[in-house]
Amino acid sequence: MIEAAGEWVQLSVKDDGQGIARELLPRLFQPFVQGEQTLDRAQGGLGLGSCFTLRLPSADAPARRVELATVAAASRVRRLLVVDDEDDTRESLRALLALEGHEVATAAAGSTGLSQMESFEPQAALIDIGLPGMDGYELARRIRARWKDVALIAVTGYGQREDRERALAAGFDAHLTKPFSYEELMRTLAGIERRAAA
């Protein structure tokens, strides 16, 4: 629940499980009180109720510049390959890109990334640097040796200047430090495409 009160905005999150039986209400705030349980205790829990409240000062929404290049880039559908060994990272990026209308293939390692390059023929590949076995730098070098026109973007937690320089030297067109926004990714892709067309 979100409430505005003068100069403050309050966000409260309460448990919305199976509910509380009327006969338990008098003992609600006693520790370890639970409703009737089956032998396997499938409902689990400790019987400790909770409500978390976050109170923040209210502020006007910041003015956002809408960049036409970003809008145009975001509206263009692309074939994208995501190579990342972290399941959650790979899947969340795939889901976001697919939700935005892109065709997306994924790989969890450099070797499968090369196979996907062959079969999927992406326009761009988003490659994590810290891959097991063949790291992202080596994968970029191998891709660049065979596919000259594909846009390669390093997506990594390493964000120092020397990391960027090493990525560019390995054949990447750009370097994005995690976490990055969808808009930032689209701006980066649009920039690569503009440079390739010039």
Which residue is associated with the tokens 């290049």? 69
Number of C-beta neighbours around residue 164 at 10 A: 18
* First-residue to last-residue Cα distance in the chain: 51
Class of domain 68-197: alpha beta
User: What's phi and psi for 43, nearest 5 deg?
Assistant: -75, -25
pLDDT higher than threshold 60 for residue 96: yes
Tell me 170's DSSP state.
T
- Residue 1 pLDDT greater than 50, yes or no: yes
pLDDT grade for 69, boundaries at 50, 70 and 90: very low
In terms of pLDDT, which residue wins out, 176 or 47? 176
Give the closest residue to 58 by CA, choosing from 113, 121, 128, 4. 4
pLDDT (tens digit per residue) in 112-167: 999 999 999 999 999 999 999 999 999 999 999 999 999 999 999 888 999 999 99
Q: Is the pLDDT of residue 198 over 90?
A: no
- State the number of CA atoms in the 13 A half-sphere of 6 facing the CB: 2
Take residue 150 and report the two structure tokens written for it.
């594909």
Q: How far is residue 126 from each of residues 21, 28, 102, 151, 174, measured CA to CA in Å? A: 51, 51, 13, 9, 10
Q: What average pLDDT does the segment 100-113 reach?
A: 96
- DSSP letter (8 states) at residue 179: S
3-state secondary structure of 60: coil
Residue ranges covered by each domain of the chain: 2-57, 68-197
